[in-house]
Structure 1
Amino acid sequence: MGSMTPEIRHGKVSLGDMTIAFREIGVPRGVPVVLLHAWGSTAGTWDDFAARMAARVRHVLALDLRGHGDSTWTGTYSLASMRDDVLGFLDHRGIDRVDLVGHSMGGAVAVLVAQRQPGRVRRLVVEDTPPPPETPPGEAIAPMAEPATPLPFDWRSFEPIITEMRTPDPGWWECLKAIRASTLLISGGPSSHVSPGALARMSGIIGDCRLVTVGEAGHRVHSLKLEEFWSVTAPFLCAEH
């Protein structure tokens, strides 16, 4: 795409005491694509994918979730608070409907958004997001030590978020039935720590859902296997119907 690649614009939205930073590319038109990163990452992880989407004449917004990048580091964290941040951001921008893409923790947040406001999400892409386990893990989460050098995220988010994602929640599975968006689940295959079997179970509960495996991608599918990720998601997100 070279010099024809649209410029990435940076912005912030204030939601009371919370500030959400975002990266934006493409001309606002139609249904935007909203991208949510994994724990410990930032919106910048989506730059290459976002540029490709913008070249397909899509408007793309990638968010720094709370505690990450240039969004507020609150010191208290939950997936539900991140869900509410995303919904608050959409309200502030006057966005009624979105195509939502989330990786790992971002995928968990995206699922909660699609459950809370089913009519707001047209298409949903969930990249290698682990659903809650059937039984508690055999060992407790080891606290993350305060880093010696600055990180692009709040290290204090580690314990609450990882603990929440590893805590069994039978009600979570039932709530999947509330999702009305056309949904694409992407598995990184056997080299990922996320169970393909658990993702298959998810795909069987969500009404309109397809599961695709990107072989030997591991957990970071869009980062390490961008061409394969693109070949799966572009037709899904850019279909006219």
Structure 2
Amino acid sequence: MREAGANGIKIAYREEGDPGAPTLVLLHGRTADHNDWNGITQHFAARYHVLAPDLRGHGASDRPGEYPVPAMAEDVAALLGRLGVERAVLVGHSLGAMVAYLVAMGHPGLVERLVLEDPVPPRPLEGRPPIEEDGSTAFDWRMMHDTERQFLQPDPAWLAGLATITAPTLVLSGGPQSPFRADETAALIPGARLVTIEVGHLIHVSAREAFKRAVDDFLGA
């Protein structure tokens, strides 16, 4: 693990592959960390310089106590700038996918291609049970509450911003077992490719080989 100052906080990140190769960034979902991509980083490191950061409030990264999702996006952009990366493929799952599409909106020149795995949609979510804290210490519970408020009432600019994304985009849907309608998000991104793998929300865990094939096919197109 490495760490770097980015956007005023410490971001811990995992690095694999040739630093001279094109960069691919893996952004985990809520409550996870870089270990969520075990078995995935090695696959892409054969061709890419792979970075798997812990988002703020997760893993070994700082827990600043405030967790606006746009700030998480700026953390990622700042980390890439700190590492001298001018263009990168972004692959994000769930909250990480929301972070990824906000990076693509705010920093279009930075994003070579965009992969959104069962993304949290930028629409108000309804019918979600309240968060109940337990003894987990792998993440900041304030992050859970802060991001949940943003899931329930996202900034309307995020929905409009999907139409401004210029990076070629792949959206992976977990199908009817998923809590999110990834197809609706895909329909709002110009030219986005939608692939459905009917295993629910954790596609890269529940159908690892299918996930890798879909991403490989997209990156090779």
What TM-score does the superposition give when structure 1 sets the normalisation length? 0.86
Cα shift readout 1:130-165 (whole Å, capped 9, x = no counterpart): 2133x56357x63543x33x5211122111101201
Deviation at 1:101, TM superposition (A): 0.3
Which residue of 1 is the match for residue 168 of structure 2?
182
Farther off after superposition, 20-29 or 169-178? 169-178
Aligned equivalents of 1:177, 1:138: Cα separation in 2: 27
Larger radius of gyration: 1
Q: Which residue of 2 aligns with 1:4?
A: none
Q: Residue 227 in 1 paired to residue 213 in 2?
A: no
| Contact residue 144 and residue 155 of structure 1 kept, 8 A | no
Contact in 1 for aligned 2:166/2:190 (Cα 8 Å):
yes
The answer to whether the aligner puts 1:42 opposite 2:42 as a matched pair is no
Question: Is 1:206 aligned to 2:197, yes or no?
Answer: no
Instruction: Tell me how far apart the structure 1 counterparts of residues 178 and 13 of structure 2 sit (CA, whole Å).
Output: 28
Letter in 2 for 1:77: Y
Q: Which amino acid aligns with 1:192?
A: S
Partner of 2:142, secondary structure, is helix
- AA paired with 1:60? V
SS at match of 1:172: helix
Partner of 1:5: none
CA contact (8 A) 1:42 1:68 kept: yes
After superposition, residues 2-21 of structure 1 pair within 5 angstroms as 10-15=1-6, 17-21=8-12
- Tell me the TM-score normalized by structure 2: 0.93
CA shift digits 1:150-189 (9 cap, x unpaired): 5211122111101201215443222112211100000011
> Structure 1 residue 114: deviation in Å?
0.1
* Aligned equivalent of 1:32, options 12, 23, 36: 23
Where structure 1 has 5 or more consecutive residues not aligned to the other structure, the ranges are 1-9
Q: Could you say what secondary structure the match of 2:19 adopts?
A: coil
- Answering whether residue 57 of structure 2 is matched by residue 67 of structure 1, we say yes
Name which of structure 1's ranges 42-51 and 107-116 shifts more when overlaid on structure 2: 42-51
Q: Closer, same or farther in 2 for the Cα pair 1:130/1:136, shift >3 Å?
A: closer
Deviation of 1:16 after TM superposition, in Å, equals 6.3
**Secondary structure of 2:113's aligned partner:** strand
Compute the displacement of 1:15 (Å).
Answer: 2.9
Deviating beyond 6 angstroms after TM superposition, the runs of 4 or more aligned structure 1 residues are none
Count of paired positions = 221
- Three-state SS of the structure 2 residue aligned to 1:115 is helix
Question: In the alignment, is the contact (CA less than 8 A) between 1:181 and 1:208 conserved in 2?
Answer: no
Could you tell me which of 30, 40, 43 is aligned with 1:52?
43
What is the CA–CA distance in structure 1 between the aligned matches of 2:8 and 2:107, rounded to whole Å?
23
- Quote the residue 1:22 is aligned against: 13
Q: Rate the CA distance shift 1:144–1:179 in 2: closer, same or farther, 3 A.
A: same
Are the equivalent residues in 2 in contact too, given 1:144–1:158 (CA < 8 A)?
A: no
| Percent of aligned pairs sharing the same letter | 38
Instruction: Look up the match of 2:180.
Output: 194
